[in-house]
């Protein structure tokens, strides 16, 4: 059994990183397309408020 | 197949019915108010008020229809083979961000024990996904992770990792797990830091996913637990008593395009990875950047990819904690408001199902409704300025407004109708619970009735306060102010009057201004504005009073009468940890853990 008496934070962090390491089994997260083509950013309260109703808020 | 076709037909029928009723209710309110308003001649303000009332009544009616559908349909547990072994491995994901590790990890220990008791514990791993930024909190997380491992003998089953950067917040945290380890797991149960789920429920969720290969996500209905304050316990009661009925209605209407609330749900890892990689939106927050209310979007994306997303409201044993006071509730609501308004950019995202788009609109309306109500009230105060004076109260002691006879009837019908939409669903749910015996779980019919009436009273008193908080949130978002990602306050939530005043002095000012305007511009209608303006003026007292514990016998829930097994386990773990240890306990560093 290893000695795990108190040690400095960096050592402890490395130890936890090793003990707690997640399984190495990568999976690709496929980036999705959500933006409308030609979207542009709206500025100001009124354009954004109108944009809410026209589904262009902030674009 | 026949069953699913029938379910789809039922769902479409309910959707059309609920929409038709809600639109009709809105239109009736519009016409009634217009006829009432034109008694003194039609003007712009009458048109404006009628339009605002149309939107508000539609929204109220939509909520009432959810309850109606929920009361008239019954959940059907799917027919599955519960003796079959679990296939594949399941990860239980616990994303954390600046949480108290003692209480959070005690929940994990309890769920681990609960899973072990099912005999299927070996199929589950637990992954604590820390996004904590504060080094002090992170150091405590590491310490208590070791304690958790030691007490549960969990090395190799319970994992802990802290991200170097919390890109994408919770959604980014989960995505990071999938990119690192997703291929090791067929399913992942996504929790919040305050989630608690029975082991048997997690096994059942897995079985239901196994039984339906087209199911990409299964959402449970979490009950609120652990509330102590008046406000918290009222919400806890409502979540246990009313929410199952509303959720049933929602499940029936959403069908295969169901909701995802971000936690207490199980995903098919492959489906999630293929469909739910969220992009950053162009521009800066609050409308650009990371998608804040990612759960709605992920549900929509799964449906877009052809996966089913389902809410199984019959699943018990799923719990979460709620805010203990109005201020914490408003802070959380601010975050949700920003997330929901951001969805305005996604309503016409390519390929989404029609219902997913409608869900985005509903989420936006949930916050705009407050703005609409406030605009209606302000327009009503200002209305006399735009029209000739009308004598509403010709008789000294008659408390209701009197317009020309036919219009008074109309106005009263409108008021009764709107109040009916507000309170009738909850009254019907109460009556249904008493008649079907469900009230026994809430301390009996009298206790359930008392709680229902008290909750109605409390929600009526707090409604004007929430209306202003939500309106402020909407305008903050529209003005481009990012609400950030504040850590949750999961303390006991008691607020001193001074703290409550600091959080609500502007609401008091709004209430006083409203009272003054009503007194000056519409003195005859002053009485009608009091239920709205008085709670605003008294906001600090209401906020402080509701943040403190109330009568112990009020708002009884089934968990008050008999703690759920996983809650008992959690209480026992927490008691042991809090009694015997401190954060500096050196013995934690000498256990049977293997540094590999």
- pLDDT tens readout for residues B461-482: 999 999 999 999 999 999 887 7
pLDDT at B588 over 60: no
Per-residue model confidence (pLDDT) at position B78: 83
Sheet holding B196-197, edge to edge: B196-197, B318-320, B223-224
Identify the pLDDT of residue B526.
84
Judged against a pLDDT cut of 90, whether residue B341 lies above it is answered with: yes
Q: Distance (Å, rounded) from C-alpha A1 to C-alpha A17?
A: 18
CA distance A47 to chain B (A): 9
Per-residue confidence band for B411, with pLDDT thresholds at 50, 70 and 90? confident
Whether B459 contacts B234, CB under 8 Å: yes
Cis upstream peptide for B161 (omega within 30°): no
Q: Are B427 and B434 contacting, i.e. CB atoms less than 8 angstroms apart? A: no
| pLDDT, position B84 | 84
Beta bridge partners of residue B161, listed in sequence order: B129
Domain boundaries of chain B, sorted by first residue: 90-228+246-322
Which of B294, B372, B299, B297 minimizes the C-alpha distance to B335? B294
**CA B150 – CA B134 distance, rounded (Å):** 24
Q: Could you tell me the CA-to-CA distances from B12 to B5, B8, B55, B302, B313 in Å, in that order?
A: 11, 6, 23, 20, 19
Return the pLDDT at B491: 62
What average pLDDT does range B517-530 have in this prediction?
85
Q: Which residues contact A56 (CB under 8 A, 6 or more apart)?
A: A39, A42, B344, B345
Q: Which positions in chain A touch B479 (Cβ < 8 Å)? A: 45
Q: What average pLDDT does this structure show over B130-143?
A: 93
pLDDT at site B387: 65
pLDDT of residue A8: 67
Is the pLDDT assigned to residue B189 strictly greater than 90? yes
Of A19, A57, A59, the CB nearest to B595: A19
Per-residue pLDDT band for B375 (boundaries 50, 70, 90) equals very high
* pLDDT value, residue B439: 96
Contact criterion met (CB below 8 Å) for B290 and B171: yes
Using the Cβ of A4 and the Cβ atoms of chain B, whether some distance falls under 8 Å is answered with yes
Q: Are strands B318-320 and B196-197 parallel, antiparallel or unpaired?
A: antiparallel
The angle subtended at Cα B405 by Cα B402 and Cα B408, nearest 5°, is: 50
Which range has the worst mean pLDDT, A28-37, B137-146, B173-182, B285-294? A28-37
B229/B547 Cα distance (integer angstroms): 5
pLDDT at position A4: 47
Q: How far is CA B280 from the centre of its chain?
A: 25
Smallest Cα–Cα separation from B206: which of B186, B221, B184?
B186
With bands split at pLDDT 50, 70 and 90, how would you rate the model's confidence at B486?
low
Q: Pick the residue with more confidence: B324 or B491?
A: B324
B90-228+246-322 falls under which CATH superfamily?
A: Spore Coat Polysaccharide Biosynthesis Protein SpsA; Chain A (3.90.550.10)
φ/ψ of B587, rounded to 5, equals -65, -20
Mean pLDDT, range B121-145, rounded to an integer? 95
Are A27 and B273 an interchain contact pair (Cβ–Cβ within 8 Å)?
Answer: yes
Question: Which of B371, B595, B596 best probes binding to A when mutated, by most A CB atoms within 10 angstroms?
Answer: B595
Mean residue pLDDT of chain B comes to 89
Higher pLDDT, A51 or B7: B7
Task: Name the residue among A23, A27, A58 with its Cβ closest to that of B288.
Answer: A58
**CA B318, CA B512: separation in Å to the nearest integer?**
43
pLDDT bracket for residue B590 (50, 70, 90): very low
Of B305, B308, B304, B302, the closest CA to residue B214 belongs to B308
Average pLDDT of span B199-210: 97
Q: Which residue of B has its CA nearest to A1?
A: B592
- B170-187 tens-digit pLDDT: 999 999 999 999 999 999
Residue B3 has a pLDDT of 58
pLDDT of residue B386: 73
Q: H or E element: which one contains B93? A: strand B90-96
Distance CA B298, CA A34 (A): 11
Q: Which of 15-54 (A) contact B at CB < 8 A? A: 15-36, 39, 41-43, 45, 48-49, 51-52
Q: Is residue B595 over pLDDT 60? A: no
Under a CB-based contact definition with an 8 Å cutoff, are residues B408 and B12 in contact?
no
**Residue B587: band (very low, low, confident or very high) from pLDDT cuts 50, 70, 90:** low
Band (pLDDT 50/70/90 cuts) for residue B580 is low
For B87-122, how does the pLDDT look when each residue is reduced to its tens digit (9 = 90+)? 899 999 999 999 999 999 999 999 999 999 999 999
Q: What DSSP letter does each residue of B433-486 carry, written as one string?
A: HHHHTGGGGGTSHHHHHHHHHHHHHHHHHHHHHHHHHHHHHHHHHHTT-----P
Q: How far apart are CA B522 and CA B537, in angstroms?
A: 19
Instruction: Answer yes or no: do A45 and B478 touch at CB < 8 A.
Output: yes
> Is residue A50 predicted with pLDDT exceeding 70?
no
Confidence of residue B591 (pLDDT cuts 50, 70, 90): very low
Res B360 pLDDT > 50: yes
Confidence of residue B4 (pLDDT cuts 50, 70, 90): low
> What DSSP state is assigned to residue B293?
S
Q: What ipTM did this prediction achieve?
A: 0.78
B495 CA: distance to closest CA in chain A (Å): 34
Task: Determine the Cα–Cα distance for residues B527 and B593; give it in Å rounded to an integer.
Answer: 70
d(CA B573, CA B104): 11
Angle at B70 between CA B78 and CA B75, to 5 degrees: 15
Q: Looking at residue B506, what is its pLDDT?
A: 96
CA distance B117 to chain A (A): 23
What pairing do the DSSP bridges indicate for beta strands B124-130 and B90-96?
parallel
How many CB pairs (< 8 A) connect A and B? 164
Share of chain B above pLDDT 90, in %: 71
- Identify which has the larger pLDDT, B529 or B199: B199
Asked whether the beta carbons of residue A22 and residue B274 sit closer than 8 angstroms, the reply is: no
| Choice between B383 and B512, residue whose per-residue pLDDT is larger | B512
Choose among A22, A25, A31: nearest Cβ to B159.
A22
């Amino acid at each position: 059994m290893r000695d795990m008496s108190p040690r400095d934070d960096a050592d402890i962090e490395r130890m936890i990183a090793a003990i707690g390491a997640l399984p190495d089994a990568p999976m690709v997260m496929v980036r999705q397309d959500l933006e409308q083509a030609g979207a542009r950013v709206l500025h100001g309260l009124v354009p954004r408020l109108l944009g809410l109703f026209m589904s262009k808020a902030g674009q | 197949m026949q069953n699913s076709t029938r379910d789809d037909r039922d769902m479409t029928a309910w959707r059309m019915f609920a929409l038709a009723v809600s639109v009709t209710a809105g239109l009736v309110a519009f016409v009634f108010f217009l006829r009432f308003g034109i008694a003194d001649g039609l003007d712009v303000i009458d048109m404006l008020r009628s339009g605002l009332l149309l939107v508000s009544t539609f929204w109220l009616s939509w909520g009432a229809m959810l309850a109606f559908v929920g009361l008239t349909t019954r959940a059907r547990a799917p027919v599955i083979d519960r003796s079959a072994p679990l296939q594949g491995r399941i990860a239980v994901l616990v994303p954390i961000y600046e949480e108290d590790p003692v209480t959070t990890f005690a929940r994990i220990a309890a769920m681990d024990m609960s899973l072990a008791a099912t005999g299927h514990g070996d199929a589950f791993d637990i992954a604590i996904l820390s996004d904590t930024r504060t080094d002090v909190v992170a150091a405590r997380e590491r310490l208590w992770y070791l304690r958790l491992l030691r007490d549960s003998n969990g090395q190799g089953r319970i994992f802990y990792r802290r991200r170097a950067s919390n890109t994408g917040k919770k959604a980014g945290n989960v995505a990071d797990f999938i990119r690192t380890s997703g291929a090791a797991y067929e399913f992942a149960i996504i929790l919040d830091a305050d989630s608690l789920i029975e082991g048997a429920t997690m096994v059942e969720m897995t079985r239901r996913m196994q039984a339906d290969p087209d199911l990409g996500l299964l959402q449970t209905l979490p009950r609120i637990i652990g509330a102590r304050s008046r406000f918290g316990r009222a919400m806890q009661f409502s979540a246990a008593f009313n929410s199952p009925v509303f959720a049933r209605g929602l499940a029936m209407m959403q069908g295969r395009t169901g909701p995802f609330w971000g936690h207490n749900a199980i995903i098919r890892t492959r489906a999630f990875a293929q469909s739910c990689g969220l992009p950053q939106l162009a521009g800066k927050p609050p409308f650009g950047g990371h998608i804040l209310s990612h759960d709605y979007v992920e549900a929509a994306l799964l449906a877009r990819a052809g996966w089913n997303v389902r809410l199984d409201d019959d699943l018990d044993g799923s719990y979460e904690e709620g805010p203990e006071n109005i201020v914490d509730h408003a802070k959380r609501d601010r975050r949700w408001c920003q997330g929901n308004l951001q969805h305005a950019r996604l309503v016409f995202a390519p390929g989404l199902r029609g219902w997913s788009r409608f869900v985005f609109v509903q989420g936006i309306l949930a916050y705009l409704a407050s703005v609409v109500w406030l605009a209606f009230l302000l327009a009503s105060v200002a209305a006399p300025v735009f029209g000739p004076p009308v004598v509403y109260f010709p008789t000294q002691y008659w408390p209701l407004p009197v317009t020309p006879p036919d219009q008074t009837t109309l106005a009263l019908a409108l008021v009764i109708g709107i109040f009916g939409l507000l309170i009738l669903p909850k009254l019907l749910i109460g009556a249904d619970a008493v008649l079907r015996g469900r009230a026994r779980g809430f301390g009996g019919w009298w206790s359930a009735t008392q709680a229902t009436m008290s909750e109605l009273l409390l929600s009526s008193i707090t409604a004007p306060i929430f209306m202003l908080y939500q309106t402020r949130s909407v305008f903050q978002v529209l003005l481009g102010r990012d609400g950030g990602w504040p850590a949750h306050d999961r303390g006991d939530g008691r607020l001193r009057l001074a703290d409550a005043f600091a959080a609500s002095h502007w609401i008091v000012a709004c209430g006083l201004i409203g009272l003054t305007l009503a007194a000056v511009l519409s003195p005859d209608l002053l009485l009608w504005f009091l239920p709205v303006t008085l709670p605003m003026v008294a906001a600090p007292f209401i906020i402080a009073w509701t943040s403190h514990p109330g009568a112990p016998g009020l708002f009884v829930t089934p968990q008050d009468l008999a703690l759920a097994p996983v809650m008992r386990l959690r209480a026992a773990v927490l008691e042991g940890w809090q009694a015997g240890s401190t954060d500096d306990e050196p013995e934690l560093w000498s256990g049977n853990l293997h540094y590999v």
